[in-house]
Amino acid sequence: MSQLKPAVNSKDHVQGKNEAPLELVEYGDYQCPHCGHAYPIIKNVQRSLGADLKFVFRNFPLSEMHPDAFNAAVAAEAAELQQKFWDMHDIIFENQQKLDMISLFFYAKTIGLDLERFKNDIQKSTLIVKVEQDFESGVRSGVNGTPSFFINGKKYNGDWEEDAFNQYLKSQLSVT
Amino acid sequence: MLALETFAPDFELNCTPDQKLKLSELRSKKIILAFYPADWSPVCSDQMSLYNEMLKFFSRHNAQLIGISVDSKWCHLAFSENHKFHFPLLADFEPKGAVSKLYEVYDEKEGESLRALYVLDEKGIIRWNYLSPAGINPGADGILDALEDLDKSKSIQS
């Protein structure tokens, strides 16, 4: 079974407690409709599992298929520099049909980013490299499309519709 | 599948409606042969779209990706344009599946290629192979590991 490489580390975007018994990692593409479908499901799963779940998002933009996905990923990384990664991640998924540059700036403004700084940050090569490194780590980990999920480091190939996903995660809770 | 460390048999197939591609013309590069069942099917589209994003990773290892299915050259053209592919799709169309049969990756019942991968080295020797269940996208980690191992073994030899 495919293993998450590298393991979750300080470069990752993490929601939840570090010591949570369940770790869910998503490799996602902001312009991918399946990821858009997964977005509210993950929110609900997080609510349902509470402190037992830690959620991590890594970038896996398929740029040829989704021409705005890479820019959106960089925009979310730029928001991280103002401690607002998850606000940007959320607003992008909630508006994923409009991800052109003007829209990304509008979302940045909506969540209260310093726009001058954001404008500079999205051109930083370090952020571009970060997104590329996420992609490469996904390939290494056996990601074959988006969204791909890893639960406690192992690739999850099962059903991720809400009830099934919730049930599976809860079943893993008793294993750990 | 054909055995490792054997010579990959040569073939020539259409890569565009008016151009043919001969395997032996690509010596000096590593070759990734990706046989797949059908243009437009969901799993094949996902798999080929993933590989399309991987081309720069493959080229770091001096490797060229080639997709092969029994679809016609015109079908390949439409599939490729629609998905913005930047690698050749070969039409194993007439006689149907001849190259897939030669590489022992033909599904007689479905009349399609199996979902199978070969990695050839610069001399045309088969160095890695993988047969995936038809419904499962095998991803690219196996290919990358194989390409890396090849580069490593080369640097040890030299």
**Residues above pLDDT 70, as percent of chain B:** 99
Contact indicator for A152, A176 with CB cutoff of 8 Å: yes
Cβ distance of A144 and B137 shorter than 8 Å? yes
What residues of chain B lie within 8 A of the CB of A62, using their CB? 49-50, 53
The per-residue pLDDT for A176 is 58
How confident is residue B155, by pLDDT bands cut at 50, 70 and 90?
A: confident
Mean pLDDT within A160-170 = 97
Residue B4 inside a domain? The answer is no
Residue B94 Cα, gap to closest chain A Cα (Å): 30
The per-residue pLDDT for A134 is 97
Cβ distance of A145 and B144 shorter than 8 Å? no
Please say whether the dihedral angle defined by the alpha carbons of residues B23, B76, B4 and B47, taken in this order, is positive or negative: positive
Residue B146 inside a domain? The answer is yes
A24-58 pLDDT tens trace: 999 999 999 999 999 999 999 999 999 999 999 99
Residue B1 inside a domain? The answer is no
A71-93 pLDDT tens trace: 999 999 999 999 999 999 999 99
Residue B36 inside a domain? The answer is yes
The per-residue pLDDT for A175 is 76
As given in the structure block, the two tokens for residue A128 are 């571009």
Q: Which residue ranges form the domains of chain A, and what is each CATH number?
A: 21-175 (3.40.30.10)
DSSP A9: -
The per-residue pLDDT for B153 is 85
Query: Cα A32 to the chain's mean position, in Å?
Result: 12
The per-residue pLDDT for A1 is 61
Pick left, alpha or beta for residue B97 (phi over 0 → left; psi -120 to 50 → alpha; otherwise beta).
left
Average model confidence (pLDDT) across chain B: 96
Q: Is B147 on the interface with A (CB under 8 A)?
A: no
**Residues above pLDDT 70, as percent of chain A:** 99
Cβ distance of B50 and A62 shorter than 8 Å? yes
Residue B2 inside a domain? The answer is no
Structural domains counted in chain B: 1
Residue B3 inside a domain? The answer is no
Q: Residue B111 sits in which domain range?
A: 12-157
Average model confidence (pLDDT) across chain A: 96
How confident is residue B133, by pLDDT bands cut at 50, 70 and 90?
A: very high
Residue B156 in this model has a pLDDT that exceeds 80 = no
As given in the structure block, the two tokens for residue B9 are 């048999």
Burial classification of residue B11, based on how many CB atoms lie within 10 Å of its CB (0-12 exposed, 13-18 middle, 19 or more buried): middle
The per-residue pLDDT for B31 is 98
Query: How far, in Å, CA of A54 to CA of A21, rounded?
Result: 8
Residues in CB range of B89: below 8 A, 6 or more apart: B15, B39, B48, B66, B67, B68, B69, B71, B76, B79, B80
Mean pLDDT within B9-13 = 98
Query: How far, in Å, CA of B64 to CA of B41, rounded?
Result: 23
Backbone angles phi, psi at B46, to 5 degrees: -65, -45
Residue B105 inside a domain? The answer is yes
Cβ distance of B49 and A62 shorter than 8 Å? yes
Q: Is B55 on the interface with A (CB under 8 A)?
A: no
Mean pLDDT within B28-55 = 96
The per-residue pLDDT for B158 is 59
Residue B104 Cα, gap to closest chain A Cα (Å): 24
A62-72 pLDDT tens trace: 999 999 999 99
What residues of chain B lie within 8 A of the CB of A2, using their CB? 139, 141
What residues of chain B lie within 8 A of the CB of A63, using their CB? 53
Size of chain B, expressed as the number of residues it contains = 158
The per-residue pLDDT for A174 is 82
Whether residue B15 lies in the annotated active site = no
CATH of the domain at B142: 3.40.30.10
Residue B100 inside a domain? The answer is yes
Catalytic, out of B44, B63, B91, B114:
B44
